[in-house]
Structure formats: structure tokens, C-alpha cells
Homo-oligomer: A and B are copies of this chain.
Amino acid sequence: MQKLKHIPTLEDINASHEAIKSMIHRTPILTSQSLNQITGAQLFFKCENFQKIGAFKMRGASNAALRLTDAERAKGLATHSSGNHAQAVALSAKLLGIPAYIVMPDTSPSIKIAGTKGYGAEVTFSQNTQASREQTLEAVVARTGATFIHPYDDYNVIAGQATAAKELIEDTNELDIILSPVGGGGLMSGTALTTHYLLPNAEVLGAEPQEVNDAWRSFTTGQLQRNTTINTIADGLRTNLSAKTFGIISHHVNDILTVSEEAIIKAMRLCWERMKIIIEPSSAVPLAAILTHPERFKGKKVGLILTGGNVDLQQLPF
């Protein structure tokens, strides 16, 4: 496989899915009678919280790693990430027998730092600002020659994330709506592409915390916007859209719904209590969108991607 330099086609997504098969789980799709009753919709939860490293990020990172040349691979993988992408890059490197160098903000959840080190990666801490992360990473890359795997502004990563919606569509019957959270937009743009190719009549909606609504503002104004705060419990969604993800989202997403912090915590708790599964706050954002805008989903067959389950049990919001 070669590195993708264009928006992934259906063939690219299919080839990516085939390539990463041995590095990921095909995760189950769960349903809940009680959540169907509460929402009036028929919900299908794609459980990426059961994915390797506990999040969908394994799909994109492994796909990007597999598309490097042998010479590039030998020098290893590098990235900066507050969590799930860090672990995904670390495990991808471990499975390929190559080194991983991860820059993590010193405010990262301890469970995610431990997970990253547990996969054998070298962790370098930065301050929790974009500038500090990028500078620290630059130094690491200069020292090691490792290839930077961007968490989302990379068509190889996007093609990998697109495989979650591919499985969701393959394992359900004619969904009316597919809902994904939006952070940096890697999963959102991959989901939008897959749905566009495989289920063109379905609506693709993004769900985003009001507190970090850069995607909603970018989508509605047509201009790429940035967050001014990162004041949300959904730690996976504090990042900004990039040129590549915004390009795909602005063409292939039907709408973006924003939700309050209260709605996120309520939805997270509902999943824990009714479905008996552990999801992280970012995963709860699509269900929060359904609870906030119920009329939009009543009677519909809705696929939701539960993005991850890496929660610090010492820091629960309830």
C-alpha cells in the first residue's frame, strides 16, 4: 500500500480495512430496549470502546503505519496526543516491531499515560498547549527521524477511521441516520465518506460539545474556525478541525448538532447504567445529541459510534 495523497475513495477504504484486519477487532454492535424506549428511535451502538487500546483511533494509526516505506518504518512512529491516539500509535508500532515516540501533555489522564508506556513507547511530556506539543514533537522527530502520524489531518488516518462506519453499515440493515462525534474530524470525515459511498440515502450528522463548537461554526460559516476554550468534559473532542477534515465534512456531512455538558454527562450515565458498558465522555456526545433533539430521530434507525472507553475511574463526573 502507498501513502494516500487524495481524499480516500471507496477502494482506498476497502484496501485499508483489509490491511488493518489483523491489527484491529471487528467490534460488536449493541442495542438497548430501554434506550430505544427513552429516545423513541431504534439505536445501533458501534462499540469502539471494545476496540484495541479502547478506542477507534487504532484504525487510523495502524493504517497510516502500514502505508510507510520500510525505511520510514525502521525509524519509528511519533505523535503528540492527550490520549487515545498516543496509545494507538504506540500499539501499532509494537505490533510492527518498530519504535514509538509519543509527546503527551502533562495533564493527560494517568490511565492513558500508563497505557502508552505499557505498549513500550517512549513518552516525552509537554505543556498542555498546541504550541508546546508541536515544539516538543519537532525536537523528538529531529532527534529520532521518526515519522509524525498526525491524529487526523492525514488521508491515511481518515481512511482507517472510515472503516468503523463501514462495519456499522455492513452489520446493520439500512440505517436512516449515522451519528459521529466531531473533535479533529478524523472519524467524522471518514464516517461521512463511507456513508456517502455505501449508504448514500442516509443522513450523516456530527455531534459536538457546545463548549468546543469549532466544527459547527466552521460548518455553518463555510470558513475553518478554531476553538477559543477547551472547557468540555469530552477530552477527546477538544481539538480543532483541520484543512483536510473540514474539506470532507463541509461536503459530506448533513448537519452538526451541539450539546451541553449536562447532556453529555446524562447520556454517559445512561449508557453506563442501562447498557452496562464503560464509555468515555466523548462517546456520549451522539446520544446526548439525540436526547437534546429527539424530534429529529423519532422512529428512525440510527447508528451511533461509541468512540472509546478509556476513563479515569478516579475522575468520574457522577
Which A residues form the contact surface with B (CB < 8 A)? 28, 49-50, 54, 111, 269, 272-273, 275-279, 309, 313-314, 316, 318
Contacts and interface: CB of A to CB of B under 8 A. Distances in A.
Nearest to A269: B313
21 contacts: A28-B28, A49-B276, A50-B275, A50-B276, A54-B276, A111-B273, A269-B313, A272-B278, A272-B313, A273-B313, A276-B277, A276-B278, A276-B279, A276-B309, A277-B277, A277-B278, A278-B278, A313-B316, A313-B318, A314-B318, A316-B316
Nearest to A118: B34
Nearest to A32: B50
Which residue, of A272, A276, A313, A318, has the highest number of chain B Cβ atoms within 10 A?
A276
A174 to B, nearest CB: 24
A205 B54 CA distance: 31
Contacts of A50: 275-276
A37 to B, nearest CB: 11
Contacts of A276: 49-50, 54, 277-279, 309
Given A50-B276, A277-B278, 11 more contacts: A28-B28, A49-B276, A54-B276, A111-B273, A272-B313, A276-B277, A276-B278, A276-B279, A278-B278, A313-B316, A316-B316
Contacts of A272: 278, 313
Nearest to A278: B276
A117 B246 CA distance: 48
Contacts of A313: 269, 272-273, 316, 318
Which residue, of A269, A272, A278, has the highest number of chain B Cβ atoms within 10 A?
A278
Contacts of A316: 313, 316
Contacts of A54: 276
Which residue, of A28, A277, A279, has the highest number of chain B Cβ atoms within 10 A?
A277
A305 to B, nearest CB: 15
A148 to B, nearest CB: 28
A279 B50 CA distance: 15
Contacts of A277: 276-278
A205 to B, nearest CB: 25
Contacts of A309: 276
A137 B54 CA distance: 46
Contacts of A49: 276
A49 B28 CA distance: 16
A100 B314 CA distance: 39
Contacts of A278: 272, 276-278
Nearest to A52: B33
A276 B28 CA distance: 13
Nearest to A279: B276
Contacts of A275: 50
